[in-house]
Structure 1
C-alpha cells in the first residue's frame, strides 16, 4: 500500500505532475507552486484504484530510493 509520504515525495519529484484543476479552486494552485505537491492531486492519479494512470509512480519512487 502506498503511504501519504510516498505520494508527497513522488508528487514533488515527478516531472509528469499536472495539477488536477477539477479537484480544487484556482487559488489552490498557489500552494502547489510553493511545493505542496502530491500524487493525490495530480490529474494522472486514479484515486479509486490508487495507481498512476501513466505508470510513472514506481519509476519515480525507485529513482529516489537509489539516490
Structure 2
C-alpha cells in the first residue's frame, strides 16, 4: 500500500469485517475484550496484523481484501 495512500476509517472497518486473517490485538484491550467484539465492530485498527505507525497490513492482505470488496 505504498505511495502515501490515505486509508479511510470506513475502509479499515470494511476490510476488518471481511478479512479471513483478522485477529484481535489482545495487547490493546486484554483478554476480557476479546469476547465482546462483534463482527460489525472489527477493524484493521484493532487487528494484530495492522501496523499503526506505517498504517499498513503487516501480512499484506489489506489491498487484496479491499479489492475483493470493490468487486462485490
> TM-score under structure 2 normalisation?
0.86
CA RMSD of aligned residues (A): 0.9
* CA deviation profile, 1:12-41 (whole Å, cap 9, x unmatched): 000000011000032321332x22100001
Q: CA deviation at 1:50?
A: 0.0
Q: Which runs of 5+ in 2 are unaligned?
A: 1-5
> TM-score under structure 1 normalisation?
0.92
- Which residue of the partner structure matches residue 26 of structure 1? 31
Moved beyond 3 Å, runs of 4+: none
Greater share of helix: 2
- Which residue of the partner structure matches residue 62 of structure 1? 67
- Which residue of the partner structure matches residue 8 of structure 1? 13
Q: Which runs of 5+ in 1 are unaligned?
A: none
The number of residues matched between the two structures is 66
Structure 2 residue corresponding to 1:43, chosen from 48, 55, 59: 48
